Structure 1
Amino acid sequence: MIDANATAFDLPSDVEIQIRRTLAAPRALVFDCYTNPEHLPNWMTGPPGWTMPVCEIDLRPGGTFRYVLRGEGAAEMTLTGTFTEVRRPLRLVATETWGPGFPETLNTVTFEAAGSHTTVTTLVRYPSQSARDAALQSGMKEGLEAGFTSLESYAQGVTLPPVPDMRLELVPVPVADVDRAIGFYVDLLGFHLDHDIKPNDDVRVTQLTPPGSACSIVLYKNLPGLDLPAGTLRGLHLVVADIHKSRELLLARGVEVAGVDDMGGILYAAFTDPDGNTWLLQEIPPRP
């Protein structure tokens, strides 16, 4: 292992360098600092006194990036590359080169969340051992250490956009026969039929709501974007106040509800619809 203050450097092979650093910032923010042109020029500026006046990023597989760093006088460095994998906020893979005379590397960066901290691991693969060794003698370690310190300091003054309020409104339930399913959910389970519309001859959308629920289900036929095979929904929960009473009521209405299981103090009773979609009644008794 090669030590450089808080950043760990390892040599996993003759042509690779692995860099690991844990930052006091949440993963989503660290990922944005790596990939958003609004953030990157504020911390990745190179040697003291340098700036990044050009930061172009096309963040997608096959997209390219171009960073131009400038110092005093005519000093300038240009970093370019192409993204081959983008998995927000988990992983980035991209080629990278500093221009003519410099080798092209393949960089794999992973972002691992640990509470309010993020561990960034970068694996840099060089075309040869000599190219790898030359990079180690170039001041790379000191430059990366300074960059991580700058990133951590910058991230302290940045906040992520607030999360919007989101309500779960509809759960798609894949069925083969909408009319048969309506008979089960309305006539036996007592769901309320909210809407039953046919935008055209081929498409049908039916919304139903369980008694006392703020969330509904949707039965559909040929609805674009939903191609789940009938009967593949598993374990959707219906929370009830008294599972034994609720089970008896549903049995009396013709719903074949299994016996009540105690799973560590939480009670469940399962049933299926005519297509084989599975449901669970759930009761969470109040704790002492």
Structure 2
Amino acid sequence: MESVKQVTVETTVQAPVEKVWKYWTEPTHITKWNSASDDWHTPIAENDLRPGGKFHSRMEAKDGSFGFDFGGVYDEVKVHEVIAYTLGDGRKVTITFKGQEKETQVIETFDAETTNPVEMQQQGWQAILDNFKKYAEQS
């Protein structure tokens, strides 16, 4: 069996960890930043942030041409520190929040899927993270 490739993306947000955590986890905020490009959006986001809790978001092209569901179950939640979850297809994701005064480093590590090239997946996840940074710093 082929070993799973883990991919890491990261950014530093110019905001305290309390704000970053809130914007990352609350559905009203998730719908505003969770896309890789301006022609996509997330019209639906649900989040039960606790171990065993489920999350779900719907990502769609704004023109309605394509969309998909993204969701899973939380394995670990440490407020302002770590969120770990398992996606519906069994892949694992860990997000680490490192707050330092007025900035927060967000490091996201995920198991790559086998359908798309790893570089493309990394670029997509990084684009979403960059969009989050922009939203959290402007709001």
Q: What range describes the TM-score normalised by the shorter chain of this pair?
A: 0.7 to 0.9
1:4-83 alignment runs, 5 A limit: 15-71=5-61, 72-83=63-74
Unaligned runs of 5+ in 2: none
In structure 2, C-alpha distance between the alignment counterparts of 1:82 and 1:124, rounded to whole Å: 14
- After TM superposition, give the deviation of residue 132 of structure 1 in Å: 5.9
Moved more, 14-23 or 109-118: 14-23
CA RMSD of aligned residues (A): 2.2
In structure 2, C-alpha distance between the alignment counterparts of 1:16 and 1:145, rounded to whole Å: 14
- After TM superposition, give the deviation of residue 75 of structure 1 in Å: 1.1
1:152 partnered with 2:138 = no
SS of the counterpart of 1:92? strand
Provide, for residues 194-251 of structure 1, a one-character-per-residue CA deviation record: whole Å limited to 9, x for no partner.
xxxxxxxxxxxxxxxxxxxxxxxxxxxxxxxxxxxxxxxxxxxxxxxxxxxxxxxxxx
- After TM superposition, give the deviation of residue 74 of structure 1 in Å: 3.6
Point out the structure with max Rg over C-alpha. 1
Aligned residue pairs total: 136
In structure 1, C-alpha distance between the alignment counterparts of 2:86 and 2:70, rounded to whole Å: 10
- After TM superposition, give the deviation of residue 147 of structure 1 in Å: 1.8
- After TM superposition, give the deviation of residue 104 of structure 1 in Å: 2.8
Report the TM-score when normalising by structure 2. 0.84
Distance 1:43 1:83, change over 3 A: same
- After TM superposition, give the deviation of residue 111 of structure 1 in Å: 0.4
- After TM superposition, give the deviation of residue 135 of structure 1 in Å: 4.7
Structure with more helix by fraction: 2
Distance 1:17 1:110, change over 3 A: same
CA contact (8 A) 2:36 2:131 kept: no
- After TM superposition, give the deviation of residue 80 of structure 1 in Å: 0.9
Letter in 1 for 2:72: G
Structure with more strand by fraction: 2
Q: With a CA cutoff of 8 Å and minimum separation of 6, indicate the structure with the bigger relative contact order.
A: 2
CA contact (8 A) 1:25 1:152 kept: no
In structure 1, C-alpha distance between the alignment counterparts of 2:50 and 2:122, rounded to whole Å: 28
Runs of 4+ in 1 over 6 A off after TM superposition: none
Counterpart position of 1:136: 118
Letter in 2 for 1:118: T
Task: Give identity over the alignment, percent.
Answer: 24
CA contact (8 A) 1:15 1:132 kept: no
1:93 partnered with 2:93 = no
